[in-house]
Chains A and B, each alone.
Chain A
Amino acid sequence: MTAIAEKPLVRIEGLHKYYGQHHVLRGIDLTVKQGEVSVVIGPSGSGKSTMLRCINMLETVSAGRISVDGELIGYREVNGRLHDLKKKDIAAQRRDIGMVFQRFNLFPHKTALQNVMEAPVQVKRKGKDFARSQALELLDRVGLGERANHYPAQLSGGQQQRVAIARALAMEPGLMLFDEPTSALDPELVGDVLNVMKDLAKSGMTMIVVTHEIGFAREVGDTLTFMDGGVVVESGDPREIIANPKEARTREFLSRVL
């Protein structure tokens, strides 16, 4: 494993989330250090995806704070009071956080290459030639250099997800969020995506990965967090927890997925 700095990159403190009356997150604390691969598991409805989506403001935070690289996400604090950030400022914060979705969400009217080039050109205002060569390099890195001119509909699910990873990496984020990246894939396509993620982890990328792939957590994860019912039940070394879960709920969950 690559060296993990002591410096926390992501700090989530006392995170609560309500949908109307429904209390989805009930006080989450999570710290992710620079270079760390933090894997989050838990049954569906446990709030793990919601927590991930709070980190880049795809969901608003009801209570608590999230900071990335020391910067408070979604708010600015003036005299002890929180003020909502303007959309423009939220967009700026999102630029440094890459996200990969369960359903890939590639832009279907653009080729793989155009998907990867879109944000660098439109958001970072990079030159087209630069963005194209960067995109081709990234597509090569995820093993899809030959498919650059294919539309998403002409790619398999696993290929689409790898393009989606390349698209997120094109913004050169300091943090990557993975929201169940292999859950929508046919079993034989999962491996390719996980391999790309492993390479990424080896390169020192800080990653938060919500997944059901216990094998990935054991092999690549630096920490494992088990969530259930909107709280963190157990957190620590993945191999330790998987081999020897302390909490009954963790044990029960692992026995069902392993």
Chain B
Amino acid sequence: MTQAGTSTQAPERLPEEPASGAETQGTETQGKQTQHAQAPVLNNAVPVRHPGRWISGFVILGLVALMLQSMVTNPNFRWDIVGTYIMDVKVVQGVGWTLLLTVASMAIAVVLAILLAVMRQSDNPIFRWSSWLWVWFFRGTPVYTQLVFWGLLAVLYPKISAGVPFGPELFNLSTSSVITPIAAAILGLALNESAYLAEIFRAGLKSVDKGQTEAAEALGMSDGKIMWRIILPQAMRIIVPPTGNETIGMLKTTSLVLAVPFTLDLTFATNALANRTYQPIPLLIVAAIWYLVITSLLMVGQHYLEAYYGKGVDAGQAAVAVNPAAARAAAAVAAPASILPKEESR
């Protein structure tokens, strides 16, 4: 039987003997009888019973039911107010600003983090040292303090000018026109985050086997190409999950931009409405619902990023899903003997 030979060579996702009926359908005329004659009597053992699972399931269901009941019957939740404000213009705009703050500051932070992580392992001692110092400073001071500082930058330096030291001035701008509240908020969040992300990226880069660099070097690739095409894509597999974590963290840290002060984000918007209506609880619920919705969307994005960077490494399924060519090749392996790869006929 050549088919037995194929299934040993095929990727692990292919089922072994018992489930192989689907595969053999194409050649059933001669395949079926022998297959059935050989089919073993399955053990069909009685599985271990788990009464604890049922008991804990009932207890938790009961608690959830109680909570739901209280949420419905307790008038203090004021679901009517939640309903009124969930799509309020101010709230939806707040969602937009919060998203913008999150995406913009994470984008800047990721670029800075790659740079910092690469600098940290550079041959150039100046780069290594500056990267270390950056991480030390921005990780070592509270993000709230940094946000206040960026908001006060115009007080510290009323004008931004550049020129040759002790020589002529090239340009001169008023600080408050460049560092607007949104710019201060994004900068403050991004620079702080870059320090944390730099450590995540450094860990990711270190996780890639040294043999990868050597193989690429032996092929004559330049350092830049080795980093960008060989090391970083593999490091991303390690980097994406904690970075997703950081992004979700960032989503909620944006509520601190009040320190700048920047006053359009979701938390500020719902707080302002709560203060106006004297209804803090329903508006907190409004904010919580929106944060949950955005977090869920981010998690979907993270799932796809992980699948993309896990190709070739994580379980066969994901790899095949991402690379249609690999899927076709895998199908070819599973197919009947006519298109067997040559080396197996040896």
Contact = CB atoms under 8 A, between A and B. Distances in A.
State whether these chains interact: yes
Interface of A: 56, 58, 87-88, 91-95, 97-99, 101, 103, 105-111, 118-119, 122-123, 143-154, 156, 159, 164, 167-168, 171, 192
Nearest to B220: A95
16 contacts: A58-B214, A91-B220, A97-B218, A99-B215, A105-B214, A105-B215, A109-B313, A111-B323, A118-B219, A122-B221, A123-B221, A146-B332, A149-B323, A151-B312, A168-B219, A192-B343
Given A107-B212, A149-B323, A153-B316, 9 more contacts: A91-B221, A99-B215, A109-B313, A146-B332, A146-B341, A150-B329, A151-B326, A152-B312, A153-B312
Interface residues of B, number: 37
Chain B, interface SS category: helix
A151 B220 contact: no
Interface string B1-16: 0000000010100000
B217 A58 contact: yes
A108 B328 contact: no
A159 to B, nearest CB: 8
Nearest to A151: B312
A62 to B, nearest CB: 19
A147 B330 CA distance: 9
Contacts of B326: 111, 149-151, 154
Most B CB contacts (10 A, CB to CB) among A109, A110, A148, A153 go to: A109
Q: What are the 5 tightest A-B residue pairs by CB atom distance, in nearest-first order?
A: A146-B341, A95-B220, A151-B312, A105-B215, A149-B329
Contacts of A87: 222-223
A156 to B, nearest CB: 8
Interface in B193-216: 209, 211-212, 214-216
B328 A94 contact: no
B214 A143 contact: no
A3 B234 CA distance: 44
A108 B220 contact: no
Contact of A108 (B214, B225, B313): B313
A114 B257 CA distance: 46
A109 B218 contact: no
B311 interface: yes
A94 B220 contact: yes
A122 B219 CA distance: 10
A73 B234 CA distance: 31
A144 B346 CA distance: 13
Interface string B102-120: 0000000000000000000
